[in-house]
């Protein structure tokens, strides 16, 4: 096609893999039609822009489990084509694997089918064509997880300068639609194509009836699961997120409709799907019971169900060991139906969701949990359920997530089928990798808690933490009513390690202190330890240290220290530690209390008080944000800087220890920058 675009005739010279390079180097060929770029080749070849992208992934027998994200592949026999880049990659990245070089991809597939090797790592397009040709598609499957990605280029000798421009002109002249048509001809599996995305965006191949149906039904109500991360979950602000959510949104974008998530438990969703009061389910297993009232699309994700037990148990290692045992399963989920049918001697304990199942395992309420590998792994890490381990697959065969509709909406199923077919392999990988990265981040940020601390958290799933509503920039509530500031960011960072158990309760300072004393709240942010408070609170280590400043009017004599305040009126926040400090240590000063920092500073600006004294970061923030141009920080108090800690109710020392351990681990909290300087937090 490039030759036609440039008016040049191209003659092809078929040969083995090494021969074309030899012919190019010796002048027997003018250019190579498909090369990976390397530093060695770049010494004598000039490359065009990439004309295609070749990805390589693992392939395995359908009855075997795929390699995990963090599997070191120790002892696994992995076939590669002799001399190809995949061989070098494996030897470097997986030194514990047994690399088995063979002559070509056809030999690799035969060896895998015969059980002579455990995995193949090779180029997906070639394997996909061969799987179809050899009739092995049901026996050998790809993981869909990209291990290598390379651009495919045209290449000519570095001295053929005139030819370089011709080759690039030919590449540039081929349109995206033409590239897509070429790809459709040769890449059998739609999910393995890289150009289908643009074809899908331009014109999804819908019938007039399908387009009319979308026009009449522009908003599709989808059964959304609020607690099945990383596939589906609901964020605190009500957003629908996860792997399944991203797939259904992309499908909706292609078909030009809008998805409205409807959150409920799965039993309720099944009832709604059965009676047709909801339009579709974006991610579910296909089972015989569901086939009675639902229609299903092609699978878009393959997943595995795994057995989980307490980490110190050695009596359960396979599904056969579950006979007579209590096993938690999610009520209404396909795994509930499958285990009940295939293993009637297992005592099933239906629970609301995966987290409840894992908690039941953690505290010994049940012997095991059978559920989705990725979901459970995510929840174990994010909720610090570190006394749980996976012991084996419930089945070595993958299960598949599909999209489903009531049978009364077959036309919607057909639309979804076409939209899913337009999603490319690279898009699919990007969606899955995004959420797998979140799971890995949760794992890397987890901290080591003792069994007693994990048990305490399991028994206290919500911890209420008080925070001042108007102490900017440290603690405040923004215009949308959400907690904000340095301390809110601290809680967000701690929640990443503690599974989201901390719930912020905004309020005024004095009532917050009283609520913790009276056990109406569990902890309070931004509290400075002192002897009068110790009978009521347990304190963590400080997370913020800020010096005290004296603020006065710019047109008045400056106050450099407490001594300059003799006979003056000082405005302070009601209930703050500096009220007691001035009354006990600077008795010749008149203290006037105000409800918050803004009011205390405003009193100085208006002349109602002579000075304000307290936290530098807070004072500077309000002076700038409230445009109090006649106020300036002038001096410092002799007292020690403010140290901010979390104060915990006295009868919960376990919570203080958990927070202390979590604060002590390295993490970053955002910084607030004033217009004049940065205040590190």
Whether residues 465 and 522 share a domain: the answer is: yes
Q: Is residue 346 part of a domain?
A: yes
Cα–Cα distance for residue pair 147/131, rounded to 1 Å: 19
Here the tokens at position 418 are: 């076409």
Q: What average pLDDT does this structure show over 559-588?
A: 91
CA dist 256 and 253 (Å) reads 5
**Are 267 and 319 members of one domain?**
no
Lowest mean pLDDT among 111-125, 196-210, 281-295, 560-574: 196-210
**Dihedral sign (CA 107, 108, 109, 111):** positive
Taking the C-alpha atoms of residue 482 and residue 498, their distance in angstroms, rounded to an integer, is 20
Q: In the prediction, which pLDDT does 276 show?
A: 92
> Do 370 and 419 share a structural domain?
no
192 domain residue, yes or no: no
* More confident position, 523 or 266: 523
pLDDT digits (tens, 9 = 90+) for 614-623: 878 788 878 8
Report yes or no on 444 lying in a domain.
no
> Number of folded domains in the chain?
5
In this structure, the answer to whether residues 354 and 413 fall within a common structural domain is no
Q: What is the CATH number of the domain that holds 377?
A: 3.40.190.10
Residue range 308-316: mean pLDDT, rounded: 91
Residue 590: is it exposed, middle or buried by C-beta count within 10 angstroms (0-12/13-18/19+)? middle
- Do 392 and 415 fall into the same domain? no
| Assigned domain for 586 exists | yes
pLDDT digits (tens, 9 = 90+) for 444-458: 445 667 778 878 888
Query: What Å distances lie between residue 665 and 380, 658, 660, 668, CA to CA?
Result: 19, 11, 9, 10
Q: What is the pLDDT of residue 195?
A: 60
**pLDDT-based confidence at residue 201 (cuts at 50, 70, 90):** very low
Neighbours of 532 (CB within 10 A): 9
Residues 255 and 150 in one domain: no
CA distance 660 to 655: 8
Q: Which of 368, 397, 426 is the last residue of a domain?
A: 397
Furthest C-alpha separation in the chain: 101
| pLDDT surpasses 60 at 81 | yes
pLDDT at 184 over 90: no
At 674, the pLDDT band (50, 70, 90 cuts) reads: very low
Q: Does one domain contain both 223 and 322?
A: no
Strands 463-468 and 523-527: parallel
Domain shared by 167 and 217, yes or no: no
Q: What is the mean pLDDT of residues 113-125?
A: 92
Q: Which two tokens stand for residue 607?
A: 């002349």
Which of 149, 174, 199 terminates a domain? The answer is 174
Are 42 and 134 members of one domain? yes
Question: Do 594 and 609 share a domain, yes or no?
Answer: yes
Q: Which domain holds residue 574?
A: 548-640
**Is 270 found in the same domain as 129?**
no
- Classify residue 5: in a domain, yes or no: no
Regarding whether 295 and 337 lie in a shared domain, the answer is no
């Amino acid at each position: 096609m490039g030759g036609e675009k440039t008016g040049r005739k191209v003659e092809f010279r078929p040969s083995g893999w090494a021969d074309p390079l030899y012919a190019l180097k010796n002048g027997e060929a003018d250019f190579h039609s498909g090369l990976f770029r390397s530093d060695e080749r770049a010494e004598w070849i000039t490359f065009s822009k990439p004309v295609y992208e070749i990805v390589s992934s693992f392939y395995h027998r359908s009855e075997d489990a795929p390699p995990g994200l963090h599997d070191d592949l120790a002892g696994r026999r992995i076939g590669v084509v002799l001399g190809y880049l995949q061989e070098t990659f494996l030897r470097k990245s997986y030194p514990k694997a047994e690399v088995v070089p063979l002559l070509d991809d056809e030999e690799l597939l035969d060896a895998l089918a015969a059980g002579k090797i455990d995995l193949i790592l090779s180029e997906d397009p070639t394997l996909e064509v061969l799987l179809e040709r050899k009739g092995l598609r049901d026996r050998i499957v790809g993981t869909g997880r990209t291990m290598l990605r390379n651009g495919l280029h045209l290449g000519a000798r570095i001295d053929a300068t005139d030819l370089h421009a011709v080759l690039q002109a030919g590449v540039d002249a081929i349109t995206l639609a033409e590239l897509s048509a070429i790809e459709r001809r040769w890449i059998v599996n739609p999910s393995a194509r890289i150009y289908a995305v643009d074809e899908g965006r331009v014109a999804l191949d819908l019938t007039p009836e399908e387009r009319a149906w979308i026009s009449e039904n522009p908003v599709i109500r989808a059964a959304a699961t609020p607690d099945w991360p990383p596939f589906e979950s609901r964020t605190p602000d009500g957003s629908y997120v996860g792997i399944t959510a991203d797939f259904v949104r992309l499908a909706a974008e292609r078909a030009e409709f809008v998805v409205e998530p409807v959150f409920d438990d799965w039993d309720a969703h099944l009832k709604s799907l059965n009676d047709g009061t909801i339009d579709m389910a974006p991610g579910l297993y296909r089972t015989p019971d569901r086939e009675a009232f639902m229609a299903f699309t092609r699978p878009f994700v393959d997943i595995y169900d795994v057995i989980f037990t307490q980490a110190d148990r050695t009596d359960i290692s396979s599904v056969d060991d579950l006979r007579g045992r209590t096993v938690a399963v999610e009520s209404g989920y396909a795994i509930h139906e499958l285990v009940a049918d295939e293993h009637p001697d297992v005592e099933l304990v239906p629970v609301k969701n995966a987290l409840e199942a894992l908690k039941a395992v953690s505290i010994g309420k049940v012997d095991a949990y059978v559920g989705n590998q990725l979901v459970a792994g995510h929840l174990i890490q994010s909720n610090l359920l570190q006394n749980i381990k996976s012991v084996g697959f419930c089945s070595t065969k993958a299960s598949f997530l599909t999209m489903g509709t009531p049978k009364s909406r077959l036309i919607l199923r057909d639309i979804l089928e076409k939209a899913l077919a337009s999603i490319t392999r690279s898009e699919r990988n990007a969606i899955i990798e995004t959420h797998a990265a979140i799971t890995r981040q949760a794992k890397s940020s987890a901290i080591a808690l003792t069994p007693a601390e994990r048990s305490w958290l399991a028994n206290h799933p919500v911890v209420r933490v008080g925070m001042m509503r108007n102490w900017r920039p440290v603690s405040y509530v923004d215009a949308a009513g959400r907690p904000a500031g340095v301390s809110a960011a601290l809680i967000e960072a701690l929640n990443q390690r503690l599974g989201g158990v901390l719930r912020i309760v905004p309020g005024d300072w004095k009532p917050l202190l009283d609520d913790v004393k009276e056990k109406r709240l569990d902890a309070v942010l931004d509290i400075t330890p002192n002897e009068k408070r110790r009978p009521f609170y347990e304190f963590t280590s400080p997370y913020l240290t800020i010096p005290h400043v004296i603020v006065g009017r710019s047109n008045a004599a400056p106050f450099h220290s407490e001594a300059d305040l003799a006979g003056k009126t000082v405005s302070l926040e009601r209930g703050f530690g500096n009220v007691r400090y001035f009354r006990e240590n600077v008795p010749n000063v008149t203290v006037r209390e105000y409800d918050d920092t803004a009011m205390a500073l405003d009193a100085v600006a208006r002349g109602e008080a002579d000075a304000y004294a307290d936290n530098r970061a807070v004072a500077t923030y309000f002076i700038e944000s409230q445009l109090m141009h006649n106020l300036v920080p002038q001096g410092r108090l002799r007292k020690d800087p403010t140290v901010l800690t979390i104060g915990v109710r006295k009868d919960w020392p376990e919570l203080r220890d958990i927070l202390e351990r979590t604060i002590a681990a390295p993490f970053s909290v955002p910084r607030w920058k004033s217009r004049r300087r940065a205040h590190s937090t």
